[in-house]
């Protein structure tokens, strides 16, 4: 069992890493961290002493004062080094840095100084250090106007705002889950690398990213259509976009019914991609689901009976309740990292159509059970 602590556990990358490590309970033990620990040497020493691996992600990304940003980031690294020395730690410390290291700005300089401080500690102590040189990271739950221009655009396009491009340059990008997977592989390797350059998985102009997001708004947000997804980057971008939708107000979305003397016709889903479409009946009082996905795109469409669909974001307590009735057929889409279920709350059988973007594969199910 490898005991892993993450400074910045509740931040953008830290939260994804923390949740992903939780998928491997027989391999990793998570040592909880909060930002206040940095303010008490005794608590910081206790945290460091518990860890076989420390992933140092805690940092400021933006601040109105570049000097404050620089000094804060350097100070956090120094505090961690001091605790490592006081406890005679032999941990493997991974520290996040940035491709901005070589740029003439205080943020890049602060990241480089922090990385070098950790590397120097490792050389002197016999510990291990890995400096992660990371490109621009995007993904679900990033903070708009702070973590990434992708987060900002996604937020604006789901909240009635119009994004604008300040500089339409090429940006090297990596999806947060791809970065997390790289960090975990590095932990498993047990090798310290002073400068580990994390390769971007996509290089895009800002305008190219915005064009895709505008398409997702028009087709998916406004029209309910699953758009064409051509590659892994677009899949990740679409899943990112979906997490910025205010599900509590956007869902359930009622279908358009075409009614004539024969009855009613309803288009359940219009697709730019394939996937698996399933049909279920559920007897009164029974609940299906109680699981979540990290990459899959999924839709629940109720066409007969009464249902309660519930969603809860992993590691939070708030549960969203959606009541659907087959008299007015409607659907709810499942965002990634939200556990979800569906219950028949009526007196007759519940008829539900399920669509998911990939057929079920027992060897790579991307289905993790957790009660809503």
Q: Which residue in this structure is represented by tokens 């016999």? A: 126
Q: How far apart are CA 37 and CA 44, in angstroms?
A: 5
Give residue 214's pLDDT: 98
Give residue 190's pLDDT: 87
Q: How far apart are CA 178 and CA 309, in angstroms?
A: 30
* Side-chain half-sphere CA neighbours of 231 within 13 A: 5
What is this structure's pTM? 0.91
Sign for the pseudo-dihedral over CA of 220, 225, 227, 232:
positive
Give residue 350's pLDDT: 94
Q: Is 272 helix (H, G, I), strand (E, B) or coil?
A: coil
Give residue 324's pLDDT: 97
CATH architecture of 247-369: Sandwich (2.60)
Q: How far apart are CA 22 and CA 359, in angstroms?
A: 25
Give the CATH number of domain 2-134. 3.40.50.720
Angle at 85 (CA atoms; ends 82, 88), nearest 5 degrees: 150
CA distance to 27, 171, 182, 369, per residue, from 365 (Å): 19, 32, 20, 11
Give residue 265's pLDDT: 79
Give residue 205's pLDDT: 97
| Count of CB atoms situated within 10 Å of the CB of 309 | 24
Quote the tokens at residue 321. 């309740």
Output the tens digit of pLDDT for each of the chain's 372 residues.
999 999 999 999 999 999 999 999 999 999 999 989 999 999 999 999 999 999 999 987 777 677 888 888 888 999 999 999 999 999 999 999 888 877 778 887 888 888 999 999 999 988 899 999 999 999 999 999 998 999 999 999 999 999 999 899 999 999 999 999 999 999 999 888 988 999 999 999 999 999 999 999 999 999 999 999 999 999 999 999 999 999 999 999 999 888 878 877 788 998 988 888 999 999 999 999 999 999 999 999 999 999 999 999 999 999 999 999 999 999 999 999 999 999 999 999 999 999 999 988 989 999 999 999
Give residue 259's pLDDT: 85
Give residue 104's pLDDT: 74
Q: Is 242 helix (H, G, I), strand (E, B) or coil?
A: helix
Q: Where in the chain are the domains?
A: 2-134, 247-369
């Amino acid at each position: 069992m490898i005991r892993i602590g993450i400074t910045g556990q509740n931040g953008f990358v830290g939260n994804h890493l923390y949740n992903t490590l939780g998928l491997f309970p027989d391999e990793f033990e998570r040592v909880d961290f909060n930002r206040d620990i940095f303010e008490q040497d005794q608590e910081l020493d206790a945290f460091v002493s518990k860890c076989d691996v420390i992933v140092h992600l805690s940092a400021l990304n933006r601040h109105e004062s570049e000097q404050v940003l620089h000094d804060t980031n350097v100070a956090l690294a120094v505090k961690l080094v001091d605790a490592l020395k006081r406890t005679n730690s032999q941990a493997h410390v991974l520290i996040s840095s940035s491709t901005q290291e070589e740029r003439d700005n205080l943020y890049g300089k602060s990241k480089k100084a922090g990385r070098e401080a950790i590397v120097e500690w490792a050389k002197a102590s016999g510990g291990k250090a890995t400096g992660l040189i990371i490109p621009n990271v995007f993904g679900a739950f990033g903070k708009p106007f702070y973590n990434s221009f992708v987060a900002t655009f996604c937020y604006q396009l789901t909240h009635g705002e119009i994004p604008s491009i300040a500089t339409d340059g090429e940006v090297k990008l990596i999806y947060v889950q791809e970065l997390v997977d790289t960090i975990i592989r590095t932990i498993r390797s047990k090798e310290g690398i002073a400068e580990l350059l994390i390769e971007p998985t996509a290089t895009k102009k800002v305008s190219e990213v915005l064009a895709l997001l505008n398409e997702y708004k028009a087709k998916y947000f406004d029209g309910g259509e699953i758009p064409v997804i051509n590659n892994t980057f677009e899949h990740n971008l679409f899943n990112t976009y979906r997490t910025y939708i205010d599900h509590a107000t956007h869902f359930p979305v009622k279908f358009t019914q075409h009614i004539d003397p024969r009855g009613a016709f309803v288009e359940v889903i219009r697709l730019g991609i394939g996937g698996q479409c399933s049909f279920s009946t559920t007897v009164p009082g029974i609940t299906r689901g109680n699981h979540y996905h990290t990459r899959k795109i999924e839709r629940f469409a109720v066409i007969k009976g009464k249902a309660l669909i519930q969603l809860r974001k992993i590691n939070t307590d708030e549960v969203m309740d959606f009541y659907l009735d087959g008299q007015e057929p409607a659907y709810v889409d499942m965002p990634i990292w939200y556990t979800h279920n569906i219950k028949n709350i009526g007196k007759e059988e519940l008829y539900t159509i399920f669509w998911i973007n990939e057929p079920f594969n027992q060897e790579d199910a991307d289905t993790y059970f957790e009660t809503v």
